Structure 1
Amino acid sequence: MTIGSYQISGGKTLWYFVIDLPVGDDGKRRQHKRRGFRSATEAEKAEDDARIAYGEAAIGADGSVAAELAGWLSERELDIEETTLDNYRNLFRMYVIPHIGGRQLYAVDKRVIHDLYKKLLTDGAKRGGGLSPTTVRTVHRVLTKTLKDLGINLTGVRQPRPAQRDDHGRKGVWTPQESKRFLKFHREGRLYAAWALAVVAGTRRGEIGGLKWSKVDLDAGVVYIHWQRTIAGNKVIEKSPKGKSRRAIAIGPAMVQVLREHKARQDEEKAEAGLIYHDRDYVFCREDGEPYYPRYFTDMWENACLAAGVPVIVLHDARHTSATAGADAGVPEHVMQKRLGHADGRTTREVYTHVLPESERRAAELMDAALHEEAV
């Protein structure tokens, strides 16, 4: 360890410290230097913090943030799901590497991280402007977890305060009247049953795309969400949902009838296609039985909103509509949490609903009312 001083213009004395780091894989000596401290005591305190932060780090010869993050991603292929890893990869690529990727990892301290967050909040969006505090908080959560894995424990790092919500957690939410108008307009459409599941049961896009008839019990009125079809990078993957996303959803008589009619139409298509039909048991598929590309549902949903003359919301916001309708009708939070497959009740409470005033079956009956009323 080296503590020293130097003078700047005006005769003012400032202090610095130097830490010798382990020799890199290339055999070269490495050091971590910081300067600009107002006293020797301040420099010593910063040096102690740096030793704690970097003492257990195993930094490669390149040592840059970009290289170390790439190495971490490669290692985590062993134990992190592909979709989650792809999200981490995109987060690093868009928000971290462009700003601090060229820095040496051992030279990253809380000041560097705070500057990164400030930059993202003011000028971090791809199309100009700043990112939301929520997005930067996500960057903070993933980045600090990654640095800790790499042996870098930075204390005192602050994250942006949560954004103040004036909408009580509502995002793109339809009124009951808008939901009924949308469903009534598409009553004869080929994807009507998919849209009904999204609005009435709050199913996600990947859950709709991966749903198979073997997981639909129409006699009992239950849909089992045990599989999803989603995108990771540039390829489609199919996998079991994680955690509490794997669930059983109760559906009411009207939703059961919708699915029965959908199955009858699909059986007619199968008979007409004959040998060219590939029966892979998907509830929602093309005329030849092959599953849809996941983004197909997203694109068709936007067109469906425009055609029905209702506000254009994203497909995922059908979950918000379902959750908010349930909460407004008095369905308890824990029931909606189970129905939507949230691991944390706080997600249901803060992100999806705004009213928390009797059972899972009651929730199904309340949401099913939208189908009953538009069908008459």
Structure 2
Amino acid sequence: MKTPGLFKQCGCRDAGTRQRLRARCPRIGERGHGTWYYRCYIRDMLGESVQISHGGYRTLTEARQARTAVQAESREQYAGRTWTIARWLTYWLTTRTAIRPTTHAIYTRHVHQFLIPAIGYLRLTELTSRHLTAMFAELAAGTTTTGLPRSPATLQRIRATLRAAYNAAIREGMITDNPARRVEIPAGRRPQAVVWTEGRVEDWRTDGARPSVAVWTPAQLTEFLEFVADDPLYPLWWLIALRGLRRGEAAGLRWEDLDLNNRQLTTTNQRTTAGYQIIEGPPKSAASRRTIALDRRTVAVLRDHLRHQRAHYLLTGRSWRTSGYVFTRPDGQPFHPNYFTKRLGFRTGLCGLPPARPAWRTPPAPISRPFRTSSGTPASWSPPTPTPACYPQHSTRPPRRQPGSS
């Protein structure tokens, strides 16, 4: 008597075609010949019907018990036992809709560049801390795209991504353990900023040696501001250096955020990047949403910049598109934030000053603190290349300024 969903097969082959006979074998009814299989349908975690077929059982009773156990599993348990890490991570990324785009970009990079190539072939329940120890050892031995060793901080962030993904699988009821919590990774030490003293500058000019984080002296800042006094983005360098604006805050600064009569600047908007994509919105934290007092010299610099922007609008006419941003391209639209990083590096090189950050990181603002993205993390950038000025050379240009004047 046949039982639906339970059947017997063997590995015998046809003498002529060499194809497996499976259930068509004439000896299939003999005791001990072939093994038992089961076939059933269940709904997976996404609600789709999935056919399951498994065999190798010695008796009909064993096959029936195995089928019953599978049918008794929840959708989530079945997915946890059968889904690969690659499939889960890919699905998990699609569910991360409430996080910031920059965070989602970091997760995506970690998943596709590191996690899936290393452990994506494993089932969710197969991952152990030994797999992760081997993976992170291999990552630590490798280098970045610029040829530099990966820092412990990078490894910690990759582990944080995997830990978040596995915690989500636990909440879904797919698994019960998170091996990413047990793997040990050396803690990275935050580099201490040093000042570009005369000795360090001499070493840098001689053999290119430079500290991991170095900032300019007041004299070097003055030299830089004097050198870029005729740069159309002079007000940008002034605000970043002397008022502590982050790159994203400067890129997203609008004239409506400035109250020049009362000498105030409010950081209500920022333009950051996720990869090369621009993400615009309010600052991330309450501490970033702040009002900055402006001195009279800064107000004069900004008023002068506004006059030149209006003069350029009159020169360009219809080609100008009003955007309301303080720092704009020749067509009136805001710059890509990466442009500021590239141009700062380019102007620093022309000035002959030492870099205030390694070439693979965003240079810091002199003296006060590193020039960082609005999320507080250094932004990656390409080697600086010469770029055209914000305004055409024949248009009005800001007069040369004396940085120390008030």
Same topology, TM > 0.5: yes
Q: In 2, Cα distance between the equivalents of 1:213 and 1:129?
A: 41
In structure 2, do the counterparts of structure 1 residues 89 and 193 end up closer, same or farther at CA, with 3 Å as the change threshold? same
Q: Does 1:136 align with 2:155?
A: yes
Q: Does 1:157 align with 2:157?
A: no
Q: Which residue of 2 aligns with 1:247?
A: 290
Q: Does 1:71 align with 2:91?
A: yes
Q: Structure 1 counterpart of 2:316, which letter?
A: A
State the aligned residue count. 289
SS where residue 181 of structure 1 aligns?
helix
SS where residue 249 of structure 1 aligns?
strand
Q: In 2, Cα distance between the equivalents of 1:180 and 1:251?
A: 19
Q: In 2, Cα distance between the equivalents of 1:24 and 1:116?
A: 34
In structure 2, do the counterparts of structure 1 residues 145 and 126 end up closer, same or farther at CA, with 3 Å as the change threshold? same
SS where residue 271 of structure 2 aligns?
strand
In structure 2, do the counterparts of structure 1 residues 64 and 320 end up closer, same or farther at CA, with 3 Å as the change threshold? farther
Q: Which residue of 2 aligns with 1:45?
A: none
Q: Structure 2 counterpart of 1:312, which letter?
A: P
Q: Which residue of 1 aligns with 2:354?
A: 311
**Deviation, structure 1 residue 112:** 1.4
**Deviation, structure 1 residue 213:** 0.2
Q: In 1, Cα distance between the equivalents of 2:293 and 2:274?
A: 30
Q: CA RMSD for the aligned pairs?
A: 3.2
Give the alignment partner of residue 111 of structure 2, picking from 84, 92, 98. Answer: 92
TM-score by length of 2: 0.63
Q: Which residue of 1 aligns with 2:207?
A: none
Q: In 2, Cα distance between the equivalents of 1:57 and 1:180?
A: 64
In structure 2, do the counterparts of structure 1 residues 312 and 130 end up closer, same or farther at CA, with 3 Å as the change threshold? closer
Higher relative contact order (CA 8 A, sep 6+): 1
Q: Which residue of 1 aligns with 2:335?
A: 292
Runs of 5+ unmatched residues, structure 1? 1-22, 31-55, 326-339, 348-370
Q: Does 1:322 align with 2:329?
A: no
Q: Which residue of 2 aligns with 1:117?
A: 136
Give the alignment partner of residue 184 of structure 1, picking from 207, 214, 226. Answer: 226
Between 95-104 and 188-197, report the one with greater CA deviation. Answer: 95-104
Percent identical across equivalent pairs? Answer: 29
Q: Structure 2 counterpart of 1:100, which letter?
A: I
C-alpha contact 2:356 2:366 (8 A) present in aligned 1: no
Q: In 1, Cα distance between the equivalents of 2:374 and 2:339?
A: 23
User: Between Structure 1 and Structure 2, which shows a larger proportion of helix residues?
Assistant: 1
TM-score by length of 1: 0.68
In structure 2, do the counterparts of structure 1 residues 149 and 87 end up closer, same or farther at CA, with 3 Å as the change threshold? same
In structure 2, do the counterparts of structure 1 residues 58 and 266 end up closer, same or farther at CA, with 3 Å as the change threshold? farther
Runs of 5+ unmatched residues, structure 2? 1-41, 45-49, 55-75, 171-176, 195-210, 378-400
Correspondence 1:1-376 to 2 at 5 A:
25=44, 26-28=50-52, 59=79, 63-77=83-97, 79-128=98-147, 130-151=149-170, 152-154=177-179, 155-163=181-189, 165=191, 167=193, 171-244=213-286, 245-313=288-356, 316-319=362-365, 321-323=367-369, 373-375=403-405
Q: In 1, Cα distance between the equivalents of 2:119 and 2:169?
A: 16
